[in-house]
Structure 1
Amino acid sequence: MKINPFILMVCCCLAVACSTSDLSFPREETLTPELMPLQGLTNPIRVEVKHPFLILQNMKQRDSIFHIYDLTSHTLKSVFGVMGEGPKDLVAPWLFQTQLPGFLITDLGKNLIYRSEIDEEGQPVLRDTKQPGYIEGANEAAFINDSLFVVDARYTAPSLYLFDLPDELPKKTWTYRNPDIVDYMVDPNMGNVYANESRIVFCYGYKKQIDFMDTDFNLIRRVKFKYAYPTVISSENNGDDKVSYVYGYLGKRYLYVLFFGTSWKENRANSTRGTFLEVFDLDGNPIVRYHLDGRRPVYFAVDEETFTLYGAGEDGDPEDNLLVYKLKGLS
């Protein structure tokens, strides 16, 4: 059978676009952290940026759960959120990271999602409250828009689900790991999902691999680096297995993801120092690799107006401060 050389060339191009190895970053930088002092009683775990404001969630407080700061002056503008059983109280709150104009908070105890905005004075303004139809709730969901979100089924299925907020059943499913492995933490394909209005991105937790997809799970590019990852992981290793990509943040311009290349145990023994922050554009092209010459953040957010990363340190260290890294060279 004679093969059309043009078709062959197109197929080869598509194969390169969908699966790439032996990549490198065109630029590498070392970043030294700064600190953003916090006011009042704080124990931050989760942050979100809605320029020029930053929202943080405290981990242990039962009142003043959420704080809003003005990033131009680093001043505290408002405090809200109380843990309790009352109609306006929160049982198990969690702050989402999205590229929506406002911010979203879920209460897992009530299976509710609160959509709010920040006014010019830095005060939260509740816009509406919705209940997701998905019976497992929307914890750690990655929102595409006000209604569409992606969630990792993790312990109930080896798949990512695409949901419309009111629906009980998913619109689409992407199976990414072995259905015979019940504990997703020991699956070599385990990872974390992120989304914005144009992309769904899956960063693998053991492999050095990232899948860039459109919002229908169609693969745009699979980024793969040469990397010796563990193929057999044990739940009894107590943090000894080498991990790859951990926490990440998907902005409107770039993907920012922390890379270890060590075990959790080794990272913590080094006071969480020596982590890398890798930056990719939304088509999966490596842009810059930063060596964080200081403690790593846990959940972090990036202000893409100033290309500044804000994040809490692990276990509240440094106390009463956020870690701040200025991401040099991004535009």
Structure 2
Amino acid sequence: MNKISLAALIIAIYSCGQNNNIGYQETISNELSNIEILKGKEVPNLEVLNIETVGIVDTMLMIVSKYDPFFHFYGLNGLSYLGSFGESGEGPNDFIYPWYNNQYTKDKNEIYFYVSDFTKNNLSKINLAKSLETGEVNLEWSKRLPSKLMRGYTNIFINNDSMVYGHYRGPYQENLGRFFKFKINENQISWSGYFPKLNKNISFENYPRIYYSFVGFNQEKNIIASAMQHLNRLEFLDSNLKIQKYLSFESHLGYIPSPDNIRTLDSHIFFNSSYSGKKFFYSLSINDKTESYIKNKGNMQLYVFTWEGELHKIFLLDKMYLGYFAIDEDNSIMYVVNFGEDKEEKPLLQYQIK
């Protein structure tokens, strides 16, 4: 395998409250060198075209496509095809732009997974076995959420079918906040007004973009993780939306750019997607200019964190132009959408991340 050296990776970890530090700051310096570049393998025998994202549902790989049928399932053991369903339309069991945030639950030997659709302002709970059996979506329930939340979120998650957590990225309003929780039965919204301070002023219209992040949720631990795209920062919040810890990174591979150029090819991107596992929180890092990402120049990095906010490991991948991903934690396999323009390559790759 090829190897690349990461020198002087400095991780500054702060424990903080919702708007300021609450007492201590810890700085950890690591010298990480000779990190192997993992070589991806094509996932064979997939008939799905126009892949939007991937996910894990229990022992199955789920692929969400851009066109119907939207949901495709394969067994993780051997990737045998199990079935597809999900139609486009305005009906109660239909979707327009479905999104799977890698959240599912088990109840009385049934498996359910949650799908949001911001174009219909819906969050739906779907019975997997019955849907695969009939080839049609079998809804346990579908709830309509406030449009201002659905049209401004990056990721949303539900806890005990009653509390929705999310990250707001709509038009900037400081009186709202970056994170929200919504009590479905009481129709009540609470906000976290935490905005990290910036080193320089930026234009009003760029505020939603500069605070863009990819959010994950661990239901067992009631922890929210947020990997910011442009601010080189990763945060951990409790279920009350109070920030408990944040990590910032410095290395020779990157720099913090002027926020004024975040729309251009010269803009700098740090974290570009994330995945919530039961064991770890994962985030793909570009740590380079947008132009390098689009032209597939360089190596994307997979950061692995414990849910307590500790850096566990870093993997370097052999490609840059990669998209949304999912982790089979039992078998230590990463599945990731391949955006490369090489027509000979498959649209989905896998990496062994042991």
TM-score by shorter chain over 0.5: yes
The Cα offsets for residues 121-174 of structure 1, whole Å up to 9 and x where unpaired, read as 955653222222454327543315133232222223352112223454423423
The aligned residue for residue 301 of structure 1 is 326
**Contact 1:134 1:167 (C-alpha < 8 Å) held by counterparts:** no
State the secondary structure of the residue aligned to 1:266. helix
- What amino acid sits opposite 1:305 in the alignment? D
> Aligned-pair distance for 1:111?
2.0
1:164 aligns with 2:191: no
Q: 1:248 deviation in Å?
A: 0.9
Superposition map of 1:1-331 within 5 A: 15-16=24-25, 20=27, 22=29, 28-59=35-66, 61=67, 63-98=68-103, 100-101=105-106, 102-119=112-129, 123=133, 125-133=138-146, 135-137=148-150, 139-145=153-159, 146-156=161-171, 157=173, 158-176=177-195, 181-184=204-207, 186-187=209-210, 189-197=211-219, 198-226=222-250, 228-234=255-261, 237-269=263-295, 271=296, 273-294=298-319, 296-314=321-339, 320-328=346-354
Per-residue deviation at 1:55?
A: 1.2
Structure 1 residues 65 and 91: CA distance shift in structure 2, 3 A: same
Whether the 8 Å CA contact 2:154–2:168 is kept in 1: the answer is: no
Contact 1:93 1:105 in 2 (8 A): yes
> C-alpha deviations, 1:83-117, integer Å up to 9, x for none?
12344332232222225443111233332222123
Partners of 2:22 and 2:116 in 1: CA distance: 43
- Rate the CA distance shift 1:303–1:24 in 2: closer, same or farther, 3 A: farther
Deviations 1:49-82 (A, max 9, x none): 01311111112x2x31211111112122111111
- Contact 2:97-2:118 within 8 A present in 1 as well: yes
Q: Percent identity?
A: 21
CA-based RMSD: 3.1
Q: 1:239 offset after TM fit, Å? A: 2.5
For the structure 1 residues 20 and 284, does the alpha-carbon distance in structure 2 shift closer, same or farther, using more than 3 Å as the test? farther
How much does 1:190 deviate?
3.6
Which sections of structure 2, spanning at least 5 residues, go unmatched? Answer: 1-20, 107-111
The whole-number CA distance in structure 2 between the counterparts of 1:76 and 1:210 is 36
Is residue 54–residue 336 contact of structure 2 (8 Å, CA) maintained in 1? yes
Aligned residues: 310
**How far, CA to CA, are the matches of 1:292 and 1:169 in structure 2?**
43
Cα 1:87–1:211 change in 2 (3 A) is closer
Conserved 8 A contact 1:212-1:221? yes
Contact 2:292-2:298 within 8 A present in 1 as well: no
Query: 1:282 deviation in Å?
Result: 0.9
Aligned equivalents of 1:41, 1:185: Cα separation in 2: 33
Counterpart in the other structure of 2:11? none
Higher strand share: 2
Counterpart amino acid of residue 181 in structure 2: L
Instruction: Work out the CA distance in 1 between the residues paired with 2:34 and 2:183.
Output: 39
* Larger RCO (CA under 8 A, 6+ residues apart): 1
Mapped partners of 2:123, 2:58: distance in 1: 22
Are the equivalent residues in 2 in contact too, given 1:162–1:171 (CA < 8 A)?
yes
1:183 partner SS: helix
